[in-house]
Amino acid sequence: MNRFLRGLFAVLIAAALYGLPRLFTMDYYLHIFVMSEIYAVLALSLGLIVGFAGQVSMGHAAFYGMGAYVSAILGTRWGWPFWITFWIGGIFSGVVSYGIGRLVLRLRGHVLAITTAFFGVLVMVVMNNWISLTNGPMGITGIPRPTPIEAGSVRLVFESRIHYYYLGLFFVAGVLYVLYRLTNSRLGDAMVAVRENEELAKSLGVNAMKSKVFAFTAGGFIAGLAGSFYAHYILFISPVTFTMNESINMLVMVIFGGMSTLFGPILGAVSLTILPEFLRMAGEMRLVIYGFALILFIVWLPMGVWGTLKNRLFSGKA
């Protein structure tokens, strides 16, 4: 796909996303769109670790939850505004992910997956039992909304879902741009080299551990930002949101959309957030149909939806 077609495609997508809330005005639809944006960021962050660095993480929801809890605690107990706690939540998750990455990324394959899963369970136990800090299973309520944005005569107050939708759209676009620049840099090439053949990459002078830890840290940082956004959107959080099932859900989104791409995780996140809602009419058969559909997609499109289309129709990076 040449540069002109890429630009045209991006403009059309941007125009469609901008006008979407004007076509679907019900709060129910807007809520699904906002949650799709949050999951898109989470899938992008996990896709950096799994798709580009080649490291399997089954505890990604832990970083998501840490960002949410740090931001919620600072906002409810100390009254700090969202625009500050948003970054602190991300930085906290990034620092923890750096420490965990330094410890576990010497492991590989299923051993790494099991270790990160245990870490996710440990964080879940802390959230449930450190009642003085997290309020335990009861969760944290009364999380403040983002304070209004004022620019001259324009004042944006976050009291309706449509405002969160546009803020989330800006969030996804910002993360996508940063990851695009990263994955198309020398550091991105180093991560891909480690993913393809770590021993060969080392022989060529690539610092494999540095590349893996960087991807793990960046992924944790972005997941923490998504957690902060989620907390100040839902205005309530509890440990049940950040279980290992959520980590698996993120991983399925990445695989479904297509690993080793940037648009794939977004497509997977949006599809797998909206699809279950459309299947509600199927009642008790909803999960059966959902699981069967995922199996068919994995069998027919082993590179993911976008990964397969990109491989067959386009050339170059996406």
**Least confident span in 142-156, 173-187, 259-273:** 142-156
pLDDT tens readout for residues 243-276: 998 998 899 889 888 888 888 899 889 988 888 7
pLDDT at 282: 58
Domain count, the chain: 1
Q: Which residue has the tokens 């690539």?
A: 206
pLDDT tops 90 at residue 95: yes
pLDDT category at 99 given cuts 50, 70, 90 is very high
pLDDT tops 90 at residue 83: yes
Identify the domain containing residue 296 by its residue range: 3-313
pLDDT tops 60 at residue 158: yes
Across residues 224-251, what is the average pLDDT?
Answer: 94
Closest CA to 223 of 18, 74, 47, 55: 47
pLDDT tops 70 at residue 2: no
User: Which one is predicted more confidently, 5 or 273?
Assistant: 273
What is the spatial distance between Cα 117 and Cα 194, in angstroms, rounded to a whole number?
Answer: 22
65 is a domain residue: yes
149 is a domain residue: yes
Closest CA to 67 of 181, 310, 233: 233
Residue 31: strand, helix, or coil: helix
pLDDT tens readout for residues 286-307: 667 667 766 777 677 666 666 6
233 is a domain residue: yes
pLDDT at 308: 66
293 is a domain residue: yes
pLDDT tens readout for residues 27-70: 888 999 999 999 999 999 999 999 899 898 999 999 999 999 99
pLDDT category at 317 given cuts 50, 70, 90 is very low
78 is a domain residue: yes
Can you give the CATH number for the domain in which 61 is found? Answer: 1.10.3470
What is the spatial distance between Cα 294 and Cα 245, in angstroms, rounded to a whole number?
Answer: 16
pLDDT at 281: 63
Report which DSSP code applies to 280.
G
pLDDT tops 80 at residue 23: yes
190 is a domain residue: yes
pLDDT tops 90 at residue 173: yes
Percent with pLDDT over 70 in the chain: 86
pLDDT at 318: 46
What average pLDDT does the structure give for the chain? 87
318 is a domain residue: no
> Per 3-state DSSP, what percentage of the chain is helix, strand, and coil (rounded to 5)?
80, 5, 20
179 is a domain residue: yes
pLDDT tops 60 at residue 314: no
pLDDT tops 60 at residue 315: no
pLDDT tens readout for residues 110-148: 899 999 999 999 999 999 999 999 999 999 999 999 988
89 membership: H or E segment, kind and range: helix 82-104
pTM (2 decimals)?
A: 0.90
pLDDT at 316: 46
The token pair at 307 is: 């990964």
